[in-house]
Amino acid sequence: MEGKLIHGYEYGAMNRLSKSWNGRGGESLYIYNGLGQRMGRSINGREEDYLLDLTKPYHNLMGIYKGEECSQRFYLDGTAAAMEEVSKGKKPSGRTAFSGLHYYLQDELGSPLRVSGFRAKESAVAERNYYLTYGYDEFGNDLGEELEEAGIPNPYDGQGMEQPLGYTGYRYDEGSGTYFAQAREYLAGNGMFGAKDVLKGKGTIPETLNRYKYCFCNPLTIIDKNGMDGYYFYDPEMYSGLDSEGEEYTLDVEKIRDMDIAYLEEEYHTTIHAVAMDPTTNPNYTTFEEAWNEMNDSEEIEVVVILTHSNDNHFVTDSKINDDNKRVTTATVKREGIDQLEEKDINTLYLFGCNMGLTDRTGKDNNSLASQFYANGHMAGINEIIASDGSICHGYAGELRTLYVIPGSYHEKNEEIDGFKRYTYQNGALQVEEIDIRTYWTNLSDKGYSDSEEICSGKGKKMEKGKEKK
């Protein structure tokens, strides 16, 4: 009915939901710790407390206590794997809960579809449905409620009645009708967060300017666990104009970008922001330094990719095509310039420019752009850096990416190269190991690993890496 109260909300000074109420007279109060994590709630005077794994920023609920006793324990493996029901018997919904472990069956987004070990209110023996069952629409609305409104029998259980985990693994609060998404409440009814993001949007990434929108209205491929994002920096002129032999490049850098971002968003289940390092393509872009510093690191950034031309001393951050139809570098970040970038907490940084992980063959230590990120402990918040010892061959073979390393101008003829390498900074020391990039970037073709002549020139001297040879 128009004008009928459905839910009311009250927020505290830290932008956290502190109180909610509904039209049925229900009232809930919420308690948080200093990290902003919800530690408990009071529902119409009935209190419950939460035991959390403080080492995890999300999916960290370990137990629910009512009074001195733990009523439910949770076992997590990235998402919820099982729940232990400490006390068996009738539940408020009329279901019977068996004591012991209850196992979760989830969809690709981490939303529970089935929870084992619950007997139905009716016809349990005949139908053998000893489990809870849940349904959601694209944005997390309860499908059962939608079916009931349409006059269709509802086969689903109500969210939050027997166990708290719902859409994408968020905790569902039946009192407020919202999902607890760590920093904010998510309202599935309108596909928006209930509070504004405390961080302002970035002009270089226009889609971040709406600070309420959930996953850029793309909930089938992106989830927002705790605000972690990814970034993809690329030079749109990377394969434009003529090469050194006067021939047109044939690779499409936008196709490479789109393939990579689609893979990363599916792999990491997060939003990947494309940042074109060119003010013509991206009017909000000024310098790489500014774009890097603007990355949202309120939480750890999941993944960052830098796709550009480079050598052992600098990487290209802007270029243009001159009157002779040749690409000309107009801006770079040099080795010493890396020290001027703001420190960021990043899980994985991929440096997809040639020789950015060049192995030192002169006897000097840590002589690469990749190692410079860790110089003197700078950027120690980056968990790992992936870079190459040699020239990188980029391309595509059907629906798969081609990505591998060949010797470049810094290598002697027939000299063995290290390929891709993994850099880490542990206990104040740089650690480097050779890796097979296909174990990290799993949508890659094997093309080029048995015969690198297929796409790139063998010595890497010729500028043929922008061509896709048949």
Asked which of 158, 193, 228 is the last residue of a domain, the reply is: 193
Contact in structure between 48 and 66 (CB atoms under 8 Å): yes
Looking at residue 24, its pLDDT comes to 83
For residue 460, tell me if it sits in a domain: no
What the block records as the tokens of 93 is 């919904």
Residues 84 and 186 in one domain: yes
Residues 179 and 303 in one domain: no
Q: Find the domain containing 259 and state its range.
A: 206-454
Looking at residue 200, its pLDDT comes to 55
Q: Torsion-angle region of residue 443: left (phi > 0), alpha (psi -120 to 50) or beta?
A: alpha
pLDDT one digit per residue (tens) for the chain, 470 residues: 466 778 899 998 878 899 999 888 889 999 998 878 899 999 999 999 999 987 776 778 999 999 888 989 999 877 789 999 876 544 555 455 566 789 999 998 889 999 988 765 554 444 556 788 999 999 999 998 889 889 998 889 888 878 999 998 899 998 899 999 887 889 998 898 887 765 555 555 566 678 788 877 778 766 766 556 789 999 999 999 887 778 888 889 999 999 999 999 878 767 789 999 999 999 989 999 999 998 876 556 889 999 999 998 999 999 999 999 999 999 999 999 999 999 988 889 999 999 999 887 655 555 799 999 998 788 888 989 999 998 999 999 888 999 999 887 776 666 677 889 999 988 888 899 999 999 888 889 887 675 444 434 333 333 233 333 33
Measured between alpha carbons, how far is 16 from 32 in angstroms, rounded to an integer? 8
Looking at residue 390, its pLDDT comes to 87
Residues 187 and 234 in one domain: no
Residues 159 and 86 in one domain: yes
Looking at residue 7, its pLDDT comes to 87
Q: Write b or e for each residue in 203-237: b if 16 or more Cβ atoms lie within 10 A of its Cβ, otherwise e.
A: bbbeebeeeebbbeeebeebbbbbbbbbbbbbbbb
Residues 93 and 185 in one domain: yes
For residue 461, tell me if it sits in a domain: no
> In degrees rounded to 5, what are phi and psi of residue 7?
-145, 150
| Neighbour count for residue 125 (Cβ, 10 Å) | 10
| Neighbour count for residue 463 (Cβ, 10 Å) | 18
Looking at residue 413, its pLDDT comes to 64
For residue 200, tell me if it sits in a domain: no
Residues 44 and 69 in one domain: yes
Residues 282 and 413 in one domain: yes
Q: How many domains does the chain have?
A: 2
Q: What angle do CA 48, 37, 105 make, to 5 degrees?
A: 75
Residues constituting the chain? 470
Residue 145: strand, helix, or coil:
helix
Measured between alpha carbons, how far is 422 from 171 in angstroms, rounded to an integer? 36
Residues 158 and 230 in one domain: no
Contact in structure between 255 and 396 (CB atoms under 8 Å): yes
For residue 459, tell me if it sits in a domain: no
> In degrees rounded to 5, what are phi and psi of residue 267?
-70, -45
For residue 416, tell me if it sits in a domain: yes
Residues 28 and 128 in one domain: yes
Residue 58 half-sphere exposure, CB side, CA atoms within 13 Å? 22
Residues 134 and 185 in one domain: yes
For residue 463, tell me if it sits in a domain: no
Q: What angle do CA 87, 92, 98 make, to 5 degrees?
A: 35
Residues 92 and 223 in one domain: no
